[in-house]
A and B are shown apart, each in its own frame.
Chain A
Amino acid sequence: MSEHATHQRIPRSVATGSFLEQDSRKTAMWAFIGSETLFFGSLLAAYLVYKPRNLALGGPHPHEVLDINFTAVLAAILLASSVTMVLSIAGIRANSQKRFLGWLLATALLGLCFIGGQVIEFATLFNETFQTVTITHPDGTIEKRGVLSHELEHDGLHAIEAAAPAGSQIEVDETKRPITLDTSLFGTTFFVLTGFHGTHVAIGVIWLLSVFVRGLRGGFSPINYVGVEIAGLYWHFVDLVWVVLFTVIYLI
């Protein structure tokens, strides 16, 4: 074969630069993140689709059972972990192993704090019970509301009576149901959605710790830190999901 008609084989790292300069692992990570947006999109769709039905069937109202202040702290923790993560990458870029490893460990610890917070949140919900109050309006329409048992014991039906139109019949279902996966559509959708986010955080923590161990053994340098970067991308994405969930579930 004549020289000009053929192309000499070039090492992959150079030959592959035809379109992108980035490491292929980063491309793969972004593709995976793109896929994950639809994973969480589907879960969130189920939550939003069932939100009105949950209320119509007398399930607990998210705002009444969720502790927004506590979750705001969790959101802050996760955001802070994103900052530490990006500082860790800045550290390895500047060839400072100390900053890299320190911030990385801080990120993993903040992630653990978040998981701990979520465990507390779930446990609180499991221990809480709610009852369904059925309000029959004078015009015959039936409205159902899920009310926390301890609030019912504390305040009685005053608030509900005040809000309902005069002449409504109010019935309280005596069965106290804990807030779990199978007692309401809220439980069904909320625990699966936030639980899967929590699982992602847990996987992220394990990943960060394995990067940390490898970093301790000098596995990364300013010219070779893609391993840190893709773990960081994953971590930021998990944080991003929480930004959305926090607003959509807890605040709205």
Chain B
Amino acid sequence: MLIRLAASARNGWRQLTSMRTALMLLFLLALAAIPGSVLPQRSVSIEEVNAYFVERPDLAPVLDRLGGFDVYGSPWFSAIYLLLFVSLVGCVVPRLRDHLRSLRRAPVDAPRRLSRLPQHADQLAYSAPPAAAAEALRAGLRSRRWRAVVRGADAGPVTVSAEKGYLKETGNLLMHFAMLAVLVGVALGATLGWHGNTLVVAGPDHRFCNVLQQYDEFGLGTRAGAGSLPPFCFTLTDFDAEFTEGGQPTAFLAHGEVSEGGGDPRPVEFTVNSPLRLDGASVYLLGNGYAPVLRYTDRFGETQTSTTPFLPSDPQGTAQGVATFPDANVDPAGGGERDPSLQVAFQGLYLPTAPAEGPLVGSVHPEERAPTLFLQAFRGDLGIDSGTPQSVLELNQAQLDSGELAPVGEAVFLAPGETMTLADETTVEFVGTQRWVTISVRHDPGQPVALVGIGLLLAGLVGSLVGRRRRVWFRVTADPATPGHSLVEAAGLPRSDYSGFATEFSHLLAALPLTPIPDSELQPAGRST
């Protein structure tokens, strides 16, 4: 029973490590990767996944259970590549053992009949006794970087065995082991890496510090925690963007100040394709926009200022947002209690460049050439005290529906510095705008490992494609006709697909100090054996 079990296990292992299985698994891996490009993926865009759930409420949960929105972390995808790697290890470890052995061992002895090999030449002569001739051949081969060994004594025939092209197998093994290194690098990133995304408005009031609470969204590796984040703070001081006349962006540059580990702030710059490299973290520029600054003066004469990032909705910089003043119109005499019916909000559309004529529905250029803010005031209960989470970009729809939050007056267009007066004599001034950027802060300790791994993979791949394993043998016998001279028979065998071997073989023979024996000399002596 146990023996049968062991036998079937051995058989299964042999199956798994066979090339046929590896090919099948490679093909399966390619097929299994396809759904990840068709279906939205959580790791790429959670918004698109959510949108898919809304669009296909019946299909989405089924796909979700099958791992359709997380293909590359799904059990079936993992099963394929893990099996592939097990198969790979099972294939290359014995090969590594064999290869190391063959590197230490002398090239194999000459086969009995050299004439049966693909390349063959006899009737070659050497003007020295067999032992010396063999030694000279070995030296000649060595100088051409063949591994060569001499076998036999002067009494019998002396053979020289030589082999070249170990690079092929070395490269092949290197390539496959490098793949394991890449896997280790990826695993390191998944366990110890972390990232977070956030929006930073320009100015010292909006300083960002690297703690989880300050991120809008973050992801931690399975073994990473709050302690993995290196302490640093970043202030955006300025942001430059260049555009073509058509509004296509050509260059971005974020200017800021960074203090690492409580050190003094130092000026920094970073841009798309050129992230800010800090100790233990990199900061990537993802997006940018304008944050209109609104100053609201309420019915008690209290002034509040809000800087609200507006999100661009088209390439020309047209942006939307909502500025809220939940603490507006709080009676200073009433003990500072919020009056829910008198909270104020403004819904706005910001045009960095309003068109000179025509309807002011959209910006015509992303630069601030004719900034205009289209503002609608709302008054009432903002609904932010109810405890339900809500968007900071939109007004609470439930409150609008119930009428507890209602528009006040007509919407107006404001240029920077202009003020709008509401019906209750309160005012709102459009002070101007601040720049904001969205950044991604990331660290992946597996990156160098994966890079070295893939570099070695390429080096090994080139070696295995360029390298050609081949063997040559020389059998040297004493020349019975001319004492002190030898007769040499040579043969060669390419061990991999190598169409140029015949040429190399003849060049090798020509380069070694061998002289073909003219036919006229051969005939009388009858040395055909």
| A and B held together in a complex | no
B residues contacting A by CB (< 8 A) are none
Binding site for B on A (CB under 8 A): none
